[in-house]
Amino acid sequence: MQIAILVTNTDDSAFAQAHPRDGAKFTTLVQMARPDWSCDVYLAKGGIFPEDITTYDGVMITGSPASTRSGAAWIDRLMGLIRQMHDARLPLFGVCFGHQAIALALGGTVDHLPGGWVHGLTWNHLVARPDWARALPDEVAIYGSHVEYVRDLPEGAVPLMTRDGINTGFTLGDHIATTQHHPEMDHGFICALTEELRSHMGPEVYARAQDSLSTAADQPALAEAIARFFEAAARA
């Protein structure tokens, strides 16, 4: 399969420059499960998009510190492309910002997280189990970092995962799946990011994050589930 990765991460700091960029992290995630698949990276945050998105077998939208509600021109363009992909039933997987952008583009709502910043390892209850997710445990461990969330799902969407009563993933038809959290992040990166953001998140969030990172995420199982999602969506 050939997958398009739409990078929305607007962080160009020295920290970001010192670590693998999102295009590389998502390519690694895909090829962890399917080494023979190819990935093309597009810097959507810079207004760079595929000329014809329908030439791809599937699309992934990455995370970002940007807000889906900012009204930036590139975000408006991305929203239109999401609606185009939905109409074409093109297999689409959204992560964090991507999860929120898909929801917002298709009629859902995004809001500030009621409990404040979530960072570190998150445990997500699998509330639906499509066939492609059969390898996932009932409680899925995924690294996360966010202050906004999907408050209301788009019409027709089905919850996939929840955490503390808040939606952290959904499906829509056979062709869309999302997660609020970050399957592309490995343990080394989330630990480094936690230190980088320490002064911004405050002592309580930092302490919780540090405590959570004694356990690793279910990254191999997530990579396999995402690959199976694209395979199942292609057959649908």
Q: What pLDDT score does 196 carry?
A: 96
Residue 193 lies inside a defined structural domain of this protein: no
Give the SS3 label for residue 4.
strand
Residue 174 lies inside a defined structural domain of this protein: yes
Q: What is the pLDDT of residues 44-79, one digit of tens each?
A: 999 999 999 999 999 999 999 999 999 999 999 999
Domains contained in the chain, number = 1
- Which residues lie closer than 8 Å to 106 by C-beta, 6 or more apart? 82, 83, 86, 154, 155, 157, 172
Q: What pLDDT score does 1 carry?
A: 98
Residue 161 lies inside a defined structural domain of this protein: yes
- Which residues lie closer than 8 Å to 58 by C-beta, 6 or more apart? 1, 3, 4, 90, 91, 92, 93, 230, 233, 234
Domain span at residue 104 reads 2-115+147-184+218-235
Q: What pLDDT score does 115 carry?
A: 87
Residue 175 sits in a domain of what CATH number?
Answer: 3.40.50.880
How many residues in total does the chain contain?
236
Residue 192 lies inside a defined structural domain of this protein: no
CA torsion 172-126-149-144 (nearest 10°) is: -120
Q: What is the pLDDT of residues 90-122, one digit of tens each?
A: 999 999 999 999 999 999 999 999 989 999 999
Residue 121 lies inside a defined structural domain of this protein: no
Residue 68 lies inside a defined structural domain of this protein: yes
Q: What pLDDT score does 236 carry?
A: 84
Residue 85 lies inside a defined structural domain of this protein: yes
Residue 37 lies inside a defined structural domain of this protein: yes
| 10-residue stretch averages of pLDDT, the chain, 236 residues long | 98 96 98 98 98 97 96 97 98 98 98 94 97 96 97 98 96 98 97 95 94 96 98 93
Which DSSP string do the residues of 56-114 spell out, in sequence order?
Answer: SSEEEE---SS-TTS--HHHHHHHHHHHHHHHHT--EEEETHHHHHHHHHTT-EEEE-T
